[in-house]
């Protein structure tokens, strides 16, 4: 159900787990493209709200360099005051992110990687939604202020993020909505 929701949502979605997440860092996987910027923004906001450090993972593909990404992460870390560390690793992005996510308190990824028209969700997002131990935030496009991480209870480490707008048939979007309490 979580994969279908994340795949069909118009906006960003956070899938929470019923069990407690590890106490590790906020983990974000980025590919270095322009689409990674809102994903990084979301991850920095989530790390600040949770008061955790941020682990930025970039998986190298042949001929790919991470220089621009290093500068982007460093400038955001300086501006936000977040302890952010960039790990540049070799390997299959799906396998690397699955391995790196084992101790994360929150996993943040973009909806799709470098093949934006291949499917509704990229293979990394799908794998982490199925197998991630922590909650998974799938970020699409820019993240409106209303979808930024919000600390919900000072006595817990849980955070509420309300961003999902499930795909509806065009007629349903304009029809009056009935509400019940």
Beta-carbon contacts of 141 under 8 Å, excluding residues fewer than 6 positions away, are 11, 12, 38
Q: Does the domain spanning 2-174 belong to CATH 3.40.50.12370? A: yes
Report the predicted TM-score, pTM, of the whole model to 2 decimal places. 0.74
Phi, psi (deg, nearest 5) at residue 15? -105, 120
**Dihedral through CA 151, CA 156, CA 158, CA 159, nearest 10?**
0
What digits encode the pLDDT tens for the residues 57-74? 999 865 667 888 899 999
Q: Where are the domains of the chain?
A: 2-174
What digits encode the pLDDT tens for the residues 26-46? 999 998 777 889 999 999 999
Local confidence pLDDT in tens for the 181 residues of the chain: 778 888 888 788 888 887 787 889 999 999 877 788 999 999 999 999 999 999 999 998 656 678 888 999 999 999 999 999 999 999 999 999 999 999 999 999 998 765 544 457 888 999 999 988 899 999 987 544 544 554 433 333 333 333 433 333 333 333 333 434 3
């Amino acid at each position: 159900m979580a994969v279908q929701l994340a795949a069909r949502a118009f906006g960003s979605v956070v899938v929470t787990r019923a069990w407690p997440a590890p106490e590790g860092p906020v983990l974000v996987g980025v590919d270095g493209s322009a689409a990674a910027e809102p994903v990084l923004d979301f991850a920095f906001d989530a790390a600040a709200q949770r008061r955790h450090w941020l682990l930025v993972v970039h998986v190298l593909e042949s001929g790919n360099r991470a220089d621009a990404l290093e500068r982007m992460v460093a400038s955001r870390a300086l501006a936000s005051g977040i302890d952010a560390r960039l790990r540049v690793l070799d390997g299959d992005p799906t396998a690397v992110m699955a391995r790196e996510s084992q101790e994360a308190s929150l996993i943040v990824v973009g909806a799709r990687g470098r093949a934006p028209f291949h499917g509704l969700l990229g293979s990394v997002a799908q794998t982490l939604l199925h197998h991630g131990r922590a909650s998974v935030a799938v970020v699409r496009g820019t993240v409106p202020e209303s979808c930024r991480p919000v600390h919900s209870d000072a006595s817990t480490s849980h955070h509420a993020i309300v961003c999902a707008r499930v795909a509806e048939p065009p007629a349903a979007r304009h029809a009056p909505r009935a509400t019940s309490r």
